[in-house]
Amino acid sequence: MRRLTLDNPPLNPLADTLLEALVAALDRAEADRVEALVLIGAGDTFVAGADIRRLEVLARGESRGASTSPPGVAPERPRPALGELIRRLEDWPAPVVAAIDGFALGGGLELALGCHHRVATDEARLGLPELALGLIPGAGGTQRLPRLIGLEAAMELMLSSRQLEAEEALARGLVDELAPRVELLAVATRAARRLTGAPLRRTRLLGDRVETGEAAQALADAARGALTREQRLARFPTLCLDATLAGALEGAERGLEVERACFRECLEDPAAAAMIYLFFAARTAKKAGAKLRGAEAEPLLRRLLEPLAEATAWLASQGASLQEIEGELEAFGWSLEPVMDFYMEIIGAQRVGDARRDPSASASSASGQGSCSVPREEWLPRLLYPLVSGACQALAEGAAARASDLDLALHLGAGFPKLRGGPMKWADRLGPAAVLEALARWHQASGAVVFQPSPALEARAKRGCGFTDE
């Protein structure tokens, strides 16, 4: 029996060096014909997931043209594909046991799913949280998880990105036995020896827990129907279900092919870059001690929302009802309910406020029979570009240290959709020059102060930098 320790402190993420070391260790074990393997994490964590540096690459929107292997990939040089490594473990002729303490998340859980037996401590936390970052499991998770816990439970776990505690993981069949932390290695070693010579459970080949045919289709349809409003605006939840269902209907090998294709599609979707960007924005703000939630953030939120409210009032003056305007923002994924009173206070125009409460109160509340003089396709830019322009000025005047702080504040405090990343991240795809040109054109045509570009926006356009460049 040989122990393989996954050691990449502090949380053993799947960096290139760790994957390369694991491949080398497997090569030696194969040459030595060891009778069993135990995989265990150094410290008090198995594997917490992807290499953080790879996520930073995705957050910068550099996935196009880079490697499209699952997280844990360095695009600069060839490296072992995690999916291939997991299959090698799964097909190993001798028992392979995962000894899980602490986190087994993302690629870490996928690695454990490829083992023949899983032992966990009471402190273990297991999950596939990739969808919280706009991705899907990319190393077999959509195929192996349903074969252990069933299709319905697997889809719920992936779509929610929640973590299972050890007791629930045991009850669902995700782990095979529990052990006290001090006895984890000993229990895993005994399990490996006990399995020596016995038929091995190769997860992707299991079929007794995963539904097939019409039952699988019905479960997937129900999962699609239960998606949240924001999830329906994104591709990645549907792609996750597509890959999972393909495996149930056509077998694991076909499912793995579909999973790889769906993962690559996620990488090309702006939602992944936006959601990973917010993930790092939160980490950076926490380290810097930035106060971006609650009463301390209210002055910043008020300042950021003022241009949006003014643009709303201007659109209403052109014949759009407030219900229509709110509908346009909701179609974008943004519900203003968390700040509606605050928002209406900023608007300040009693006529518009009355219109929202009573659609028949004024002409500005027409139900939308072509009554607005502004083309519908211009509504969202006319609402958001002033917000972006004002955010540039707020940043230039020191209201926040980073563009990502502004984006995070609007996500946390005003409900700006996570899959858009924040107004500055969203506008990055356009660039300051395009936003400046549109605002200047609208300002010249209407004379409305809300469309007057801010000096900071003009400066960014002149420098040729992006909205999230520091």
Neighbouring C-beta atoms of residue 229, cutoff 10 Å: 11
pLDDT of amino acid 65: 41
What's the length of the chain?
Answer: 470
pLDDT at 78: 56
Residue with tokens 């083992």: 115
Q: What DSSP character marks residue 200? A: P
Residue 100 has pLDDT above 70, yes or no: yes
The pLDDT of residue 362: 41
Q: Is the peptide bond before 270 cis (omega within 30 degrees of 0)?
A: no
| pLDDT (mean) for 349-360 | 43
Report the range of poorest mean pLDDT among 46-55, 107-116, 322-331: 46-55
Quick one: how far is CA 19 from the chain centroid? Answer: 23
Please give the share of the chain, as a percent, with pLDDT higher than 70.
Answer: 90
Helix axes 322-332, 298-317, angle to 10 degrees: 120
Distance in angstroms (rounded) separating the CA atoms of residues 470 and 466: 9
82: nearest Cα among 238, 251, 259? 259
Note the pLDDT of residue 32. Answer: 96
Each residue's pLDDT tens digit, 318-335 = 999 989 999 999 999 999
Q: How far apart are the first and last CA of the chain?
A: 52
Structure confidence by residue, pLDDT tens digits, 189-218: 999 999 999 999 999 999 999 999 999 999
Cβ atoms of residues 382 and 374 within 8 Å: yes
Alpha-carbon distance values, 304 to 128, 293, 324, 331, 466 (Å): 35, 14, 22, 21, 19
Instruction: Note the pLDDT of residue 345.
Output: 81
pLDDT-derived band at 368, boundaries 50, 70, 90:
very low
Alpha helices in 397-454 (DSSP H): 403-414, 423-428, 432-446
Say what the pLDDT of residue 371 is. 84
pLDDT at 369 over 90: no
* Residue 155 to residue 134: CA distance in whole angstroms: 15
- Provide φ and ψ at 341, rounded to 5°: -65, -45
pLDDT value of position 374: 95
Query: What confidence tens digit (pLDDT) does each residue in 271-321 have?
Result: 999 999 999 999 999 999 988 888 888 999 999 999 999 999 999 999 999
For residue 192, the model assigns a pLDDT of 97
Tell whether the model's pLDDT for residue 463 goes beyond 70. yes
Q: What is the mean pLDDT of residues 411-429?
A: 95
Task: Pick the more confident residue, 469 or 61.
Answer: 469
Average pLDDT over residues 404-430: 96
φ, ψ at 404 (rounded to 5°): -65, -30
| Residues known to be catalytic | 110, 130
* pLDDT the model gives residue 26: 97
Distance between CA 246 and CA 217 in Å, rounded?
10
Domains and CATH numbers, the chain: 2-268 (3.90.226.10), 272-463 (1.10.1040.50)
The residue-averaged pLDDT of 39-63 equals 80
Q: Which residue has the higher pLDDT, 91 or 354?
A: 91
Mean pLDDT for all residues in the chain? 90
